[in-house]
Structure 1
Amino acid sequence: MKRNAIDVSVAIMTHPRRRAEAEALAASRPELDATVVVDPDPEGPGNLHCAAAAWAARRPEATHHLVLQDDCRLSERFTSTVLDFTERYPHQALSLFTYWATGTAAALRTAAAAGCRVAEVRESYFPTVAAILPSHLADGFAEFVSDHEDLPEADDITMGAYLYWRGVKRLAVVPSPVEHTGTVSLAGNDYQGDRESVCFEDDADPAGLTWDAAEPDAISGLDPTRPGQDHGYRAHRNLPTRFFVAPWTHRHGAKALAAIGAEDAEATRDEAIAAFLESAPTASPQQLSSLWLAGFTFGADLTATPVRTYAPEGPRTPNRLPLDAAEAVKLLEEPVLGQSLRTTAKGLGAFADEPADTAALTEFYRAAVASGAAHSRED
């Protein structure tokens, strides 16, 4: 893939058991001229050695290198989106896929609300389902792996450590030009449920969103992989001090509502859950509580929490947050944000013993966002 000064080479990393899928992916997009890299240590405990080989497979003259895992589906606009993203952020590590139930997904939902397509990766690992590195970083990762012993066997964890060590900004994009195909995980990640994108590009037109990056001070999301707690949370960014502090503080349940001065909203939550259970008695009250909390706190932030934006070149596009309550509800009709609500509802529903109807869960989530946007509070 080439445009102006950008030249992106492509490798597809795969396990021998899934070589056919990788070759089919490469054949489906001949314009990528992708190299299929088969795991040199297929009996090993992780995919790190395969990833190192894939990152080392950069075409010598390429300015950037893209590595895809074999269980990817590429959007119709994949090539143009990759080149647009890389041209605007040529020195950063770029992730092209974000799982819906991550802090990065929550940041991207807020970015879309602010009118932006880009947000920083929130996790300590770096999502490697589909990622792009500048050439020197791609080459350096293979060297990093060969020079160090006892690295984590999962490539995303080791890549996160490598990029932190190199001081590289890590960015993600919405809508994602890559979707996960839902194949059985060779890395043991099936416990994460429906591992789809927060918003796949073929499902939502990004018209109206800029390529600026958003830096929210607060995000609201869900982590259904953590048992024994309310999965909904609100997190706020901590200011740096001369003492070490975690970059984000997470609050669940009543603590999340207290953080935004909305303790009295618990009664509203209980009423909404009871009404949903009347029509869907097999739905999980804990999941409904989690979804409502994430939606309510997201709505509250849309009307009260500013978001900083930045552009790699030129003036920033003024973002849209905060909004008044009516504007916040109208925002939910936009394609990217609307689709991200549906994927969240669908993904959470997949964790239930008897999954609830996605459309009904989406409306429940939307109503919670509207309730949070309309809530009167004193900050």
Structure 2
Amino acid sequence: MIKVGVSIMYHPRRADRIPPLVRACAPLDAVPVRDPDPGGAPSPLRTAKRAWAQIQDGVTHHMVLQDDIALAPGFAEQVSEAVARHPEDGVSFYSHWNSPQNSYLVRRAAVAGASYAPLSLTEWTPCQGFVLPVDRARDLAAYLAEIPDDVQDDDEMVVIFCRKQGIPVVATVPHLVDHGVDETIVGHQGELRATVFAPGERTPTAHWTGRTAADPGPYTVELLESRCGIRMVDRDPVEHKFAWHWYDACSLVGVDPRAVLDAAAPHIGGLPDALVPAATEVWAAGHLLGADAAGHPPVPPGGGPFTRHAIGSWVDSGLAGPDRALLGRTGRDVLVALGVAAVRHGLAHPGGRDGR
């Protein structure tokens, strides 16, 4: 029988967040773990060491949560269902919406109708909500204890640990954790939100018995600063700032870029001229995502039930500031619908044209 214990790592300046989080975890028993040196240099790792070591008696799995998160409705029940499906793996309940690899793997899984996305073992492991089998959790605690606090980022150490130990890591689709809107303790820039989160919706229990998407492939697709790019995983380091522009790199992934543009034309022809460049990039990203998912059947007709959530977070995180300001809410919804249409086109015509 699965029994999950929980530690919530927190900084004292966010102490007011802890009682609501503890209640939201019920009936899971959540134990707060305070930063032992809150006046010192910011270091999530410093608190994570103690949170991973704070393992309750009698549990089969140990989960660590961070203090600046929001939980999905029915969090505890869904955690237990997901862990039961992947009892030997690491399970993350979050991924950052524009991370170079993991966010794409989650979006691809959403389009494919999968309940879980395998995560990269080279990109940092999302640790806003992460669970391991209890023996693995003890090993992780011992591993982290040897690392100096000034290393700072626990997520970069966790991925190294999982890779060395051969621990597969998956993310739930949809996520059960979203990030808050406050600035992080260590000062990471930009808004940090979940890739596929369905606020206000309770995912049916049966969903968590579903399949895991295909393993990571040789490339990922990104939408960043209103530009669609392709990253070749074996050539482009995770921290590399620039992806290949989609039009130039399409031949590497078996897609005809001219056909992608031809298919986009009827959908973007009526948009204001100022929005056409960004809309074209959204279309390209959606088509490439659908084309990739099509190569890993079975895929529900038109994509999985969380496709729109996946595209919505891509538009929200991937447009440059001036384009977001120009769009407004109505324009944003138009681009999300455009992205969903592009996914469906990619699913139906992976190479870009009928029959290809």
Report TM bin, short chain: 0.7 to 0.9
Q: What per-residue deviation string (whole Å, max 9, x for no partner) do you get for residues 7-54 of structure 1?
A: 111111111111111233113444222111111122223210101111
Q: What per-residue deviation string (whole Å, max 9, x for no partner) do you get for residues 180-217 of structure 1?
A: 222222222232x3523423364474666753211154
Give secondary structure in 2 for the equivalent of 1:354.
helix
CA distance in 2 between counterparts of 1:237 and 1:361 reads 28
Q: Does 1:80 align with 2:77?
A: yes
Give structure 1 stretches of 5+ with no counterpart.
239-244, 308-318
Amino acid at match of 1:376: R
Give secondary structure in 1 for the equivalent of 2:88.
coil
Q: Equivalences for 1:185-334 in 2 at 5 Å?
A: 185-191=184-190, 193-200=191-198, 202-203=200-201, 205=203, 210-216=209-215, 217=217, 220-224=220-224, 231-234=227-230, 251-259=244-252, 260-265=254-259, 267-268=261-262, 271=265, 275-278=270-273, 281=274, 283=275, 285=277, 287-303=278-294, 305=295, 307=296, 319-321=297-299, 327=301, 330-331=302-303, 334=304
CA distance in 2 between counterparts of 1:55 and 1:294 reads 38
Alignment correspondent of 2:142: 143
CA distance in 1 between counterparts of 2:248 and 2:199 reads 35
CA distance in 2 between counterparts of 1:185 and 1:218 reads 32
Q: What per-residue deviation string (whole Å, max 9, x for no partner) do you get for residues 107-147 of structure 1?
A: 22322333321121125211000000111222222221222
Q: Does 1:336 align with 2:326?
A: no
CA distance in 2 between counterparts of 1:179 and 1:26 reads 16
Alignment correspondent of 1:156: 155
Q: What per-residue deviation string (whole Å, max 9, x for no partner) do you get for residues 67-96 of structure 1?
A: 111112111221121111111211111101
Q: Does 1:347 align with 2:317?
A: yes
Alignment correspondent of 1:21: 17
CA distance in 2 between counterparts of 1:202 and 1:153 reads 33
How many percent of aligned residue pairs carry the same amino acid? Answer: 25
Check conservation: 1:23, 1:36, Cα contact below 8 A: no
CA distance in 2 between counterparts of 1:337 and 1:266 reads 20
Q: Describe the shift of the 1:141–1:223 C-alpha distance in structure 2 as closer, same or farther (beyond 3 A).
A: farther
CA distance in 2 between counterparts of 1:266 and 1:115 reads 23
Alignment correspondent of 2:28: 32
CA distance in 1 between counterparts of 2:291 and 2:195 reads 24
Q: Does 1:90 align with 2:83?
A: no
Check conservation: 1:111, 1:117, Cα contact below 8 A: yes
Structure 2 length-normalised TM: 0.82
Shift of 1:97: 0.8
Check conservation: 1:178, 1:200, Cα contact below 8 A: no
Q: Describe the shift of the 1:188–1:201 C-alpha distance in structure 2 as closer, same or farther (beyond 3 A).
A: same
Check conservation: 1:121, 1:170, Cα contact below 8 A: yes
Alignment correspondent of 1:67: 64
CA distance in 2 between counterparts of 1:51 and 1:351 reads 34
Q: Does 1:367 align with 2:338?
A: no
Shift of 1:157: 0.7
- Greater mean deviation of Cα atoms: 169-178 or 369-378: 369-378
Check conservation: 2:91, 2:171, Cα contact below 8 A: yes
Structure 1 length-normalised TM: 0.78
Q: Describe the shift of the 1:246–1:364 C-alpha distance in structure 2 as closer, same or farther (beyond 3 A).
A: closer
Shift of 1:60: 2.4
Q: Describe the shift of the 1:19–1:284 C-alpha distance in structure 2 as closer, same or farther (beyond 3 A).
A: farther
Give secondary structure in 1 for the equivalent of 2:210.
strand
Give structure 2 stretches of 5+ with no counterpart.
none
Alignment correspondent of 1:242: none
Amino acid at match of 1:10: V
CA distance in 1 between counterparts of 2:314 and 2:264 reads 20
